[in-house]
């Protein structure tokens, strides 16, 4: 490329190993830990934060829609948009818990349940998630074993490595 003989490899931005001589092998955890990775405490707290952000995004978008319609958002509009955000979250959460084994915030934070959730447990899971939102993620401090979500779903929380 330049006259010094220092060529830049074609895959200079790749995060995969280049093969022999490409650098040290990454330290991988033992296979037993890779099968069922436990989410760290900060990630369990982030689950509730992500659910709150998802609801606030819907709330904000409804208020912006009111502004774009030429109206000024009044106090009843704030209550209406918050109620709409909650209804959206309950619908999206119930669908995602059944289909993807996690609430919208869980999936945004990269966490899911390790097993399918029985349909009769979905309301309890959503209630536990809303409790986490109302307390700003403080139940996440209990870790995976004491997690309110884990108890409501009767399934462990694991890191979601699907793409």
Which residues of the chain are under the pLDDT cut of 50?
A: 1, 31-33
DSSP 5: S
Residue with the two structure tokens 């869980």: 106
Listed by start position, the domains of the chain span 38-159
Whole-Å CA distances, 137 to 44, 133, 152:
8, 6, 16
Measure the CA–CA gap between 8 and 5, rounded to whole angstroms: 10
Q: Is the pTM of this model over 0.85?
A: no
Residues belonging to the chain: 163
* Tens digits of residue pLDDT in 90-125: 999 999 999 999 999 999 999 999 999 999 999 999
């Amino acid at each position: 490329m330049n006259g010094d003989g220092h060529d830049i490899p074609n895959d200079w931005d790749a995060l995969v190993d280049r093969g022999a001589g490409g650098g040290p092998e990454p330290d991988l955890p033992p296979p037993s830990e890779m099968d069922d990775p436990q989410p760290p405490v900060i990630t369990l707290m982030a689950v509730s934060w992500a659910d709150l952000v998802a609801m606030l995004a819907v709330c904000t978008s409804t208020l912006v829609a009111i502004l774009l319609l030429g109206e000024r958002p009044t106090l009843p509009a704030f209550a209406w948009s918050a109620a709409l955000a909650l209804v959206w979250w309950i619908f999206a959460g119930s669908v995602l818990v059944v289909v993807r084994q996690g609430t919208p915030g869980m999936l945004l934070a990269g966490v899911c349940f390790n097993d399918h959730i029985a349909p009769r447990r979905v309301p309890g899971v959503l209630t536990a998630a809303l409790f986490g939102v109302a307390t700003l993620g403080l139940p996440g401090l209990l870790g995976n074993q004491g997690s309110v979500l884990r108890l409501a779903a009767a399934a462990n929380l694991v890191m979601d490595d699907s793409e």
